[in-house]
Chains A and B, each alone.
Chain A
Amino acid sequence: MAKTDLRLTVEEDAMLAGEQGELVQWAIRMQVDVGRFFGADRLVPVTSAHMVGDMEVMGEPGLALLQKIAHGAARFRVPMTTNARCVDFAAAERLLQDPGMVCKEKELIAAIRTIGAIQTDTCINYQSVYQPHFGEHVAWGDTGTVIYANSVLGARSNFESGPAAFAAGITGRTPRYGFHVPEQRRGTVLVELSAELEDLADWGALGAVVGRQCNDYWQVPVIDGAKPGSVTSDRMKHLGASLASYGSLAMFHMVGVTPEAASVDAAFAGREPKQTIKVDDAAIADVYASYPADRDEIDLVVLTGPQLSLFEIKLVAELLDGRSVHGNTRFIITTNQMNHAAATALGYVPAIERAGGMVLVGVCFYLMGADVMRERFGWRNVLTNSAKLANIIGGYRYHPIFRRTRDCVEAAVAGRLQS
């Protein structure tokens, strides 16, 4: 097999031999092992890394590992940004979050900042922090960031989970396999889109339809039929997050929109589609119908997953239109510190807060110990415009209801879903 034929540069050989210290050796060892597994021929330099490390999945052993590394001398050699985390310290008490988790979160942040991370706490780094150019190799962690970078920007990344992105930050490289290789980026599945998509949630629903039928990291759907002018960054953001959540997908093409899909033929680059998925209005309606209301009263309305852009925050403030959130309903949105600062200065955040809504910073709702909050507040259902959140939050024993953005805001005001 050609599998073990991974060639290293002189410098990389030295790193593997331990000449740049134990941590660098440990990091490149993992990269070589993963690269060999997937048939990588070499490592490629990356310009940035983006790390997911929430306490919920890392556990104590993961935290202890990072703390041990922080005590050593090695530091990230390319910019390392951090993904959405579990705690907004300004809101933790109001949300009755577990003090133990809040404390661990502080320790985790201290460790990764010591190693040199830029604490952005965002899952929309591609909107707020850095947009890699076409063909640029990066090592990003959160699945939504990877699919956006690959598909919309034409940059190159695999899903680099916590330890893998960490290793890439330490070595400044990543193994060249998967979506770093042009052949893997060709389309495999044709999506014939005839549905009218307007709201952000409609685009998330499209991702759900495709992801449910095409659940395999190595598949690349080619979406044909998007109306010119109908696609925005936020819509692609919801589409990508949903494709990654429902289908573990890391890349899509959209004909006439994304950079490697000037035509259907260009997107497939000689491959025959192995499957065709038709998405009409009925298919989109079916996604909403798959998350029916358990009752009219809504305990919680959450707009998150991905964090909201400045445009989305402005939209929420406008939809509220000076009205107040119902007394029996909680209304929560999440964003990053950059958008929060801008939206505060522009008056959108104060408007949402005056209405009784909460604007959380640097977090994503499902990472926040969602099951503990559910028990402490007695929440049963959650209404959202995020197809991704609807997919995940059932695992924390919420009843998820998925609707369009305007319906979510109206329900927050009325305390109940309007029929």
Chain B
Amino acid sequence: MTRDAVDPSVLELRGPPGFGRPLDGEALVSSDPFSPRYDLDRSTGLISRKGHAVEGHNLAGKILVIPAVKGGVAAGWAFYDLMRRGIAPAAILCRETNPVFVQGAVLAGIPILHRLEPDPVTSIRTGDRISVDPTSGRVVVSRFGG
């Protein structure tokens, strides 16, 4: 793994430029794809779908890390709804995404990146502090006492 090769406490991921402003936050990593319509209690921000990899976690204010997105066009409005009610994720990192998800993130002003190397889903852990810079497509993971 890259993170072990140089410095076990710092890891950098790179990808194409994403959308949004730079920010720092705490990661919530899901090994399952995510749909804001079917996996989420949209009144609280809790991941509510039974058997989902991060069932019971709350995505409000977190940097959501997911392998892929699912669902139809619902995500286009859903993030704006979450943002206005103060329970949106702070940012989203996807292995792969689709237009609807990005349209929804852009409407809501939620930073989003995709196609990062190494794979964010396997190299970032829930609870990691991460810095996201969408303009340069850079994500830095700091893991103190890992």
Q: Hey, which bits of chain A sit against chain B, CB under 8 A? A: 1, 3-4, 30, 33-34, 36-39, 52-53, 57-62, 65, 141-143, 158-164, 178, 215-218, 244-245, 248, 395
B15: min CB distance to chain A, Å: 9
Report A-chain residues with C-beta under 8 Å of the C-beta of B103. 30, 34, 160-161, 163-164
Q: Are A160 and B99 in contact (CB under 8 A)?
A: yes
Q: Are A159 and B98 in contact (CB under 8 A)?
A: yes
Q: Are B81 and A178 in contact (CB under 8 A)?
A: no
Q: What is the interface size of chain B, counting residues whose CB is below 8 A from a CB of the partner?
A: 36
A37 to B114, CA, bound (A): 9
Q: Are B80 and A4 in contact (CB under 8 A)?
A: no
Report B-chain residues with C-beta under 8 Å of the C-beta of A162. 73, 76-77
Residue on B with the closest CB to A64? B84
Produce 1/0 per residue, B103-115, CB < 8 A to A: 1101100001010
Q: Hey, which bits of chain B sit against chain A, CB under 8 A? A: 16-19, 33, 37-38, 42, 68-78, 80-81, 83-85, 96, 98-100, 102-104, 106-107, 112, 114, 137
Report B-chain residues with C-beta under 8 Å of the C-beta of A248. 69-72, 98
Report B-chain residues with C-beta under 8 Å of the C-beta of A160. 73, 99, 103
- With A37-B18, A217-B99, A218-B96 given, is the CB distance from A161 to B71 under 8 Å? no
Residue on B with the closest CB to A179? B99
A245 to B33, CA, bound (A): 15
Residue on A with the closest CB to B99? A158
Report A-chain residues with C-beta under 8 Å of the C-beta of B104. 161, 163
Report A-chain residues with C-beta under 8 Å of the C-beta of B38. 395
- With A160-B103, A161-B103, A164-B103 given, is the CB distance from A33 to B75 under 8 Å? no
A3 to B18, CA, bound (A): 9
- With A36-B17, A395-B38 given, is the CB distance from A161 to B68 under 8 Å? no
Report A-chain residues with C-beta under 8 Å of the C-beta of B100. 159, 161, 164
Residue on A with the closest CB to B84? A61
A65 to B96, CA, bound (A): 29
A159 to B71, CA, bound (A): 11
